Amino acid sequence: MSPLKNANITAIFMDKTYQKYKELRHKIADLDNILAVLGWDQEVYMPIDGAGFRAQQIASLSGILHDMCTSQEYSDLLESLKENQSLNFIEKRNIAESWRILDKNRKLSRAFMERQSRIHSEAYQSWIKARQENSFAVFAPKLKEVVDLQREKAELFGYVVSPYDALLDDYEPGLTTDIVEKVFIDVKKNLTDFFSKIKGRPHPDYAFFDNHFDKAKQLELCRELATDMGYDWNAGRLDLSEHPFTTSFNAKDARITTRVNEKDLRESIWGTIHEAGHALYEQGLPVSEYGLPSGSPISLGIHESQSRLWENNVGKSSTYIKTYWNQFQKYFPEAFGNVSDMQFFRGLNTVKPDLIRINSDEVTYHFHILLRFEIEKNLIEGKTEVKDLEEIWNTNIKEYLDLDVPSPKLGVLQDIHWSHGSFGYFPTYSLGSFYAAQFYHFAEKAIPDLQKELDAKNFKPLLQWLRENIHQHGHTYSSEEICKRITGEGLNYKYFNNYLDKKYAEVYQI
* 400 touches 367 (CB < 8 A): yes
492 and 424 part of one domain: yes
pLDDT tens for 410-426 read 999 999 999 999 999 99
pLDDT tens for 247-302 read 999 999 999 999 999 999 999 999 999 999 999 999 999 999 999 999 999 999 99
Question: Rounded to a whole number, what is the distance in angstroms from the first to the last CA of the chain?
Answer: 79
State the angle between helix axes of 163-171 and 177-199 in degrees (0 to 180), rounded to the nearest 10: 70
- Three-class SS of residue 250? strand
352 and 481 part of one domain: yes
Across 66-77, average pLDDT: 94
pTM over 0.85: yes
118 and 267 part of one domain: no
> pLDDT-derived band of residue 81, with 50, 70 and 90 as boundaries?
very high
Domain closes at, from 98, 117, 133: 133
Phi, psi of 249 (to 5 degrees): -105, -20
Length of the chain in residues, anyone? 510
Across 199-214, average pLDDT: 91
Domain closes at, from 133, 166, 189: 133
> pLDDT-derived band of residue 1, with 50, 70 and 90 as boundaries?
low
At residue 36, does pLDDT exceed 70? Answer: yes
At residue 80, does pLDDT exceed 60? Answer: yes
Across 421-448, average pLDDT: 96
Catalytic residue selected from 43, 145, 275, 376: 275
Please check whether residue 75 lies inside any domain of the structure: yes
88 and 218 part of one domain: no
pLDDT of residue 348: 96
At residue 10, does pLDDT exceed 50? Answer: no
The CB density around residue 333, as the number of other CB atoms within 10 Å, is 10
Range of the domain at 115: 3-133
Residue 275 known to be catalytic: yes
124 and 219 part of one domain: no
Domains contained in the chain, number: 2
Helix (H) / strand (E) containing 7: helix 3-44
128 and 187 part of one domain: no
Domain closes at, from 133, 157, 189: 133
At residue 378, does pLDDT exceed 60? Answer: yes
Helix (H) / strand (E) containing 254: strand 253-258
At residue 188, does pLDDT exceed 90? Answer: no
pLDDT of residue 202: 87
120 and 183 part of one domain: no
- Three-class SS of residue 256? strand
* 134 touches 408 (CB < 8 A): yes
Please check whether residue 432 lies inside any domain of the structure: yes
pLDDT tens for 100-128 read 999 999 999 989 989 998 999 999 999 99
Q: What is the mean pLDDT of the chain?
A: 93
